[in-house]
């Protein structure tokens, strides 16, 4: 009698979060479904659990499936961790890979080293995912990130207010849903705006929501510029780290991009906290004029993905990154795949 192929049990986001602290680390985590915001949150939780931020530059690879082969992914997984107990490899766009790519990777999963974890991001729970069913059932977790039912949206909104330490009445919670809708990412972004505008521990009223929600959604660049112009780097970094301002396909580490601006960095010499402000704009503009679309994507990617610990005292390289991204916006150099969903141009 021929046994049926195994199918993995689906884990839903709430159960995943509850069990993450107590569960054993798996070889592979597959994040699938239409709700991109939940996939982003799950990925962030996984990285916090699996990898030390101090060694992340050396032990974390984010690879876009359209730009690599299955062999590249396997080689990354087989690389021994440096100065840490675990290495993480993340593959985005996995649902768009070829059958041969998927076959090769599915056959490899049982051989992933114990000190490596592979995270695969699928767009939806679709046919290409079936190639990994048996491997996931035995060695991994399938996280079903489908949009939550309507009666669960309110619970997420409550948690977003709590995350920003904002006090919101039931009426305020309903108002933000009425104004913004049910998209979790948009709800999170609008509540973040309330926090930026009103500060921590503020009591949010329906009038506040009507004033700030949806207002200025096309002006995030101006908000970012204003923060830099006022030398408020902590606020600039806060804006840049919003989960909705992320470029999924761009490269993600400072190591990969350091050569692109090392001449600017080295020319600063001994730096002070306001070096980025005094650096000649003309020299930066000349430098940026030679950027390709890929270069610009890398700058934005680094800005969005970097999780800087010293937010109030950025390192010189972080100051330069802020400087570059600011002037890219200023001179309108960026015209590629826009990481700012609410904008059609940066000008």
- Give the strand order in the sheet containing 28-32: 10-12, 140-144, 28-32, 116-121, 87-92, 60-64
Q: Please report the pLDDT score of residue 196 as a whole number.
A: 73
Q: Please report the pLDDT score of residue 130 as a whole number.
A: 74
Q: Please report the pLDDT score of residue 209 as a whole number.
A: 84
Any long-range contacts for 146-152 (C-beta under 8 Å, 24+ apart)?
146/12, 146/33, 146/34, 146/35, 147/33, 147/34, 147/35, 147/182, 147/184, 148/13, 148/35, 148/184, 150/182
Q: Look at domain 10-144 and name its CATH class.
A: alpha beta
Rounded CA gap, 224 and 220, in Å? 6
Please give the C-alpha separations between residue 302 and each of 11, 71, 168, 207, 320, in angstroms, as whole numbers: 31, 25, 34, 36, 12
Same fold? 10-144, 150-212? no
Rounded CA gap, 137 and 140, in Å? 6
- CA of residue 149 relative to chain centroid, distance: 24
Topology (CATH level 3) of domain 150-212:
Helicase, Ruva Protein; domain 3 (1.10.8)
Residues sharing a CB contact under 8 Å with residue 104, sequence separation 6 or more, in sequence order? 70, 71, 74
CA atoms within 13 A on the CB side of 304: 21
- CA of residue 187 relative to chain centroid, distance: 17
pLDDT tens, N- to C-terminus, the chain (347 residues): 445 556 778 889 988 988 887 778 889 999 988 888 899 889 888 988 898 888 888 899 988 888 899 999 999 999 999 988 899 999 988 888 888 998 899 899 999 999 999 999 887 766 667 778 888 888 889 999 988 888 899 999 999 999 888 999 999 999 999 888 888 988 888 888 788 777 777 889 888 887 776 554 344 545 655 655 555 545 555 555 444 333 322 222 222 333 334 444 444 444 433 444 444 455 555 555 555 665 565 555 555 444 433 344 445 455 555 556 655 655 554 444 433 333 223 22
Domains in the chain: boundaries: 10-144, 150-212, 238-331
């Amino acid at each position: 009698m021929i046994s049926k192929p195994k199918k993995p049990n689906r884990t839903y986001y709430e159960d995943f979060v509850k069990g993450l602290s107590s569960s054993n680390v798996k070889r592979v985590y597959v994040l699938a479904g239409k709700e991109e915001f939940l996939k982003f949150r799950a990925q962030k939780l996984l990285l916090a659990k699996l990898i030390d931020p101090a060694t992340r530059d050396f032990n974390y690879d984010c690879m876009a499936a359209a730009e690599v082969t299955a062999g590249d992914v396997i080689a990354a997984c087989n690389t021994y961790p440096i100065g840490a107990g675990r290495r993480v490899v993340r593959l985005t766009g996995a649902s768009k890979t070829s059958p041969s790519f998927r076959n090769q990777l599915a056959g490899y999963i049982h051989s992933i080293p114990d000190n490596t974890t592979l995270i695969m991001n699928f767009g939806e729970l679709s046919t290409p995912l079936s190639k990994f069913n048996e491997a996931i059932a035995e060695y991994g977790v399938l996280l079903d990130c489908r949009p939550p039912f309507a009666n669960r949206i309110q619970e997420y909104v409550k948690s977003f207010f709590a995350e920003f330490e904002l006090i919101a009445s039931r009426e305020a919670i309903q108002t933000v849903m009425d104004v913004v809708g049910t998209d979790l990412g948009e709800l999170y972004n609008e509540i973040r705006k309330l926090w930026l505008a009103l500060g921590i521990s503020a009591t949010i009223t329906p009038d506040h929501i009507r004033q700030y929600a949806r207002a200025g959604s096309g002006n995030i660049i101006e908000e970012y510029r204003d923060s830099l112009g006022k030398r408020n780097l902590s606020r600039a970094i806060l804006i840049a780290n919003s989960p909705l301002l992320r470029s999924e396909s761009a490269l993600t580490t400072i190591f990969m991009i350091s050569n692109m601006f090392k001449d600017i960095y080295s020319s600063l010499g001994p730096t002070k906290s306001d070096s980025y402000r005094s650096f000649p704009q003309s020299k930066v503009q000349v430098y940026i004029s030679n950027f390709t679309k890929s270069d610009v994507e890398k700058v934005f990617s680094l800005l969005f993905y970097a999780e800087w610990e010293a937010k109030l005292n950025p390192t010189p390289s972080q100051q330069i990154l802020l400087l570059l991204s600011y002037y890219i916006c200023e001179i309108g150099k960026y015209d590629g795949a826009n990481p700012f969903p609410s904008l059609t141009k940066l000008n």
